[in-house]
Structure 1
């Protein structure tokens, strides 16, 4: 089970995510209150072991800029939150996570273009693309649509409901950002609690 903690912007939060068992950590390079510069992300990522994937989040960014940040920070994956097409994703140079907003339980047909990549199911964006902290209606989703896909579930996850999300979706991974925050900042205890809750559910399956 992949467990991704996104929107990290402090050394303590990165260290807590890694030591607690996160498999992926995310840095936001798009407009957001969690946005970091490539230089700062490189600093935050310098001690992250190779076993943990470093993911950069972008929204409709120029491809050359994405490739430059991948090289500068040493990103292992890129997460695309905009209207990027599959031919764009194919040129990024590292594995891609493509985000799709789920409205009324409907999975967009465009996921078929990204079957070679990893999909992330999220609530539709609000102020910023890249996570609203809201969940979508899990029960309405036709899970057969996801057969054969690697996918994350995100959107409104927190330490209390992540085990239910895993039970419903049986996903490749879960992804959280605001659900492990207090007053808009990453809460180290919540990061630990989220990861342990996700791991416990995995081990029970």
Structure 2
């Protein structure tokens, strides 16, 4: 765990090996992630008005709140939000009380700044899509708007459709990491035990975010212990190699 405030300036170091495991929906899996060295877990919510379906990795808000309460003082918790209304985001944050919000939707910087003002103890991660044909200068300008307004604490670069298990263009992500050297940048999208070391070496992110790469085969609601073990083994070795090279 980094701290109660996940992305303070002192933690934004390229030597820090930060790993978030997304799509965690049970205390058992959260504890399994912690055992192998996860810094944070990500929680997905059911759509408004829907109940949780059997086998789903999505939690109802009350279930997410109970999971956060059970993990308080241990793992950091990240709530993925697709809402675009700042009032709705604040309401979810106050109810569930995660360590951080991962904003997936298009929310203007000034609206996110208002969320930060009302929930100053919660970090804000903004997801940006590295989709085919993306213009890197336009992507940089978009991210810069949020950074300049002090609206976010970290950036997450993901493939066009999050949770798809598809790898995006790492060269674009590498350039964004270089252009925002003072901002924690997380890499997501199709990561697994076989490519995470290469991702660390080529892109140089602050940390990584993995979901499908550590899921149990055919299950979205369970993490696979052997996949977690092998993923962290590959990641930790990559961090150690890069640290020794400096």
Runs (4 or more) in structure 1 with deviation over 3 Å come to 30-33, 104-107
> 1:7-46 counterparts in 2 under 5 A?
7-29=23-45, 31=47, 33-46=56-69
TM-score calculated relative to the size of structure 2: 0.74
Secondary structure at 1:4 match in 2: strand
Aligned residues: 201
Map of 1:88 onto structure 2:
111
Distance 1:100 1:158 in 2: 20
Residue of structure 1 aligned with 2:167, choices 129, 132, 135 = 135
TM-score (norm 1): 0.88
Gaps of 5+ in 2: 1-16
> Which deviations, in whole Å up to 9, do the C-alpha atoms of 1:113-156 show, x marking residues without a partner?
2224200011112xxxx432211021354343333321000000
Post-superposition CA distance 1:13-62 (Å, at most 9, x none):
11111121111111012649532112112222333253532100011343
Q: Distance in 2 between matches of 1:52 and 1:66?
A: 22
Separation (CA, whole Å) in 1 of partners of 2:110 and 2:163 = 24
Which among 127, 130, 154 is matched to residue 99 of structure 1? Answer: 127
Decide which of 187, 205, 224 is 1:171's aligned counterpart: 205
- Alignment match, 2:75: 52
Larger Rg: 2
Shift of 1:174: 0.2
Cα distance in 1, alignment partners of residues 68 and 228 from structure 2: 17
Does the 8 Å CA contact 2:83/2:89 hold for their aligned counterparts? Answer: no
Where structure 1 has 5 or more consecutive residues not aligned to the other structure, the ranges are none
RMSD between aligned alpha carbons? 2.1
Question: Are 1:4 and 1:24, in contact at CA under 8 Å, matched by a contact in 2?
Answer: yes
State whether structure 2 residue 232 is matched by structure 1 residue 198: no
For 2:168, what is the secondary structure of its paired residue? coil
8 A Cα contact 2:21 2:210, kept in partner: yes
